[in-house]
């Protein structure tokens, strides 16, 4: 019930105009006190709602909500027919699709949401997910060739995101192994790949993307690393419905290319944008620290780390790559 009330409150407030608490209470068949409590929760979710006596509640800025019809219409311009779900409030887009495995999800199915109450990054980190400010997108991909076909998928998706941002928005993007997207040395987006299946036979893959679009001040205070967002880099508003469709289409295309030809045809694309290529780096694995020079990636998606003149492949997992 609470979720339904909050979603309706958001719809009523989205245009940025004042609306009285009494009107909202009557519309939703709850008390004025209940409306006040729900508004407090929405503020905690990242919405900037204020109240003025005699006028009611108002969003500091109007927001354009995610719209399934707009996303699917835009997808059709790319000749894509991915099944898409749009959520207002969810725990995690990745978790949602993972719960639907294996029989209640279709190959290429995508899920986007306005807000995540339990957004996740790699190595169990929280992904800050304020309402309506960013893009939270997950896609299911069937691994016909088995779990080994998942090698390098986070790199493939990183390239797809880069394709969209460079070609559609003229944004100079850097890629950081194995799952981050940078602009001007600051993190813009992260990718989380989760797998399900046996070592033998086909497998299931859910790919999550969190992309910063317009970071609220109160959310920025929770982030412990340099970050940026599209609003800052482009100096303009972003249509999240159009961007969602562009990303779903291009991620699908890159994954199909990977299925057919593997990672090898994409190595040059990656190396041109490799944030750490030919730079001194350190790898953190638990308490262990290894230093060397980044020499790009190989056809299996492993990081090539040069130590004392010799290259050794480093595969993903609980590994963190930092500049030395």
Indicate which residue of 6, 70, 176, 187 is catalytic. 187
Question: What total number of domains does the chain contain?
Answer: 3
Indicate which residue of 122, 176, 240, 250 is catalytic. 122
By residue range, what is the domain housing residue 315?
276-323
At 322 the pLDDT is 87
Instruction: Report the CATH number that the domain containing residue 50 is assigned in CATH.
Output: 1.10.10.10
Residues 169 and 45 in one domain: no
pLDDT in tens, the chain (324 residues): 688 888 888 888 888 888 888 888 888 888 888 889 999 988 888 888 888 888 889 888 888 999 999 999 999 999 999 999 999 999 999 999 999 998 999 999 999 999 998 887 665 667 777 888 899 999 999 999 888 888 899 999 999 999 999 999 999 999 999 999 999 999 999 999 999 988 788 999 999 999 999 987 777 677 778 899 999 999 988 999 999 999 999 999 999 999 999 999 999 999 999 999 999 999 888 888 899 999 999 999 999 999 988 999 988 777 888 887
Q: Which of 156, 142, 175, 146 is nearest to 261 (CA)?
A: 156
Chain mean position to CA 260: 25
Annotated binding site for biotin: 92-94, 116, 120-122, 187
Instruction: Report the CATH number that the domain containing residue 258 is assigned in CATH.
Output: 3.30.930.10
285-321 burial, b at 16+ Cβ within 10 Å, e below that, comes to: eeeeeeebbbbbbbeebbbbbeeeeeeeebebeebeb
Residues 120 and 233 in one domain: yes
Annotated binding site: 92-94, 116, 120-122, 187
> Which residue blocks in 89-152 are alpha helix, DSSP H?
93-99
Instruction: For residue 240, indicate whether it is catalytic.
Output: no
Residues 87 and 231 in one domain: yes
**Of 270, 285, 306, which residue constitutes the final position of a domain?**
270
Beta-bridge mates of residue 50: 58
Residues 187 and 302 in one domain: no
Q: Which of 297, 239, 293 is nearest to 266 (CA)?
A: 297
Residues 134 and 180 in one domain: yes
Instruction: For residue 322, indicate whether it is catalytic.
Output: yes
Residues 160 and 101 in one domain: yes
Residues 112 and 254 in one domain: yes
At 1 the pLDDT is 65
Residues 128 and 259 in one domain: yes
Q: Which of 80, 71, 110, 77 is nearest to 242 (CA)?
A: 71
Residues 151 and 121 in one domain: yes
Residues 54 and 197 in one domain: no
Instruction: For residue 17, indicate whether it is catalytic.
Output: no
Residues 243 and 303 in one domain: no
At 319 the pLDDT is 80
Residues 34 and 170 in one domain: no
| pTM of the full structure | 0.92
């Amino acid at each position: 019930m609470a979720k339904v009330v909050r979603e309706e409150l958001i719809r009523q407030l989205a245009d940025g105009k004042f609306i009285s608490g009494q009107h909202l209470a009557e519309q939703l068949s709850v008390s004025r006190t209940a409306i006040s409590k729900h508004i407090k929760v929405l503020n905690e979710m990242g919405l900037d709602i204020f109240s003025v006596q005699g006028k009611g509640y108002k969003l500091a800025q109007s927001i354009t909500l995610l719209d399934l019809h707009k996303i699917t219409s835009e997808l059709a311009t790319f000749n894509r027919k991915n099944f898409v779900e749009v959520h207002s409030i969810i725990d995690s887009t990745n978790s949602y699709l993972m719960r639907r495995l294996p029989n209640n999800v279709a190959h290429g199915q995508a899920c986007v949401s306005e807000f995540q109450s339990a957004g996740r990054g790699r190595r169990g980190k929280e992904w800050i997910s304020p309402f309506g400010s960013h893009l939270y997108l997950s896609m299911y991909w069937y691994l016909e060739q088995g779990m080994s076909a998942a090698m390098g998928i986070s790199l493939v998706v990183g390239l797809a995101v880069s394709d969209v941002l460079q070609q559609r928005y003229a944004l100079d993007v850097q890629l950081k192994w194995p799952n981050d997207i940078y602009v001007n040395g600051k993190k813009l987006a992260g990718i989380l790949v989760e797998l399900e299946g046996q070592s033998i036979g086909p497998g299931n893959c859910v790919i999550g993307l969190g992309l910063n679009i317009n970071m609220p001040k109160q959310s920025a205070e929770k982030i412990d690393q340099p970050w940026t967002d599209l609003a800052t880099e482009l100096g303009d508003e972003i249509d999240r419905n159009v961007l969602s469709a562009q990303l779903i289409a291009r991620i699908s295309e890159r994954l199909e290319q990977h299925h057919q030809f593997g990672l090898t045809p994409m190595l040059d694309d990656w190396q041109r944008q490799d944030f750490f290529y030919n730079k001194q780096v350190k790898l953190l694995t638990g308490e262990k620290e290894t230093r060397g020079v980044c020499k790009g990636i190989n056809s299996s998606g492993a990081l090539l780390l040069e130590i004392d003149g010799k290259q050794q492949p480093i595969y993903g997992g609980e590994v963190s790559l930092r500049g030395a």
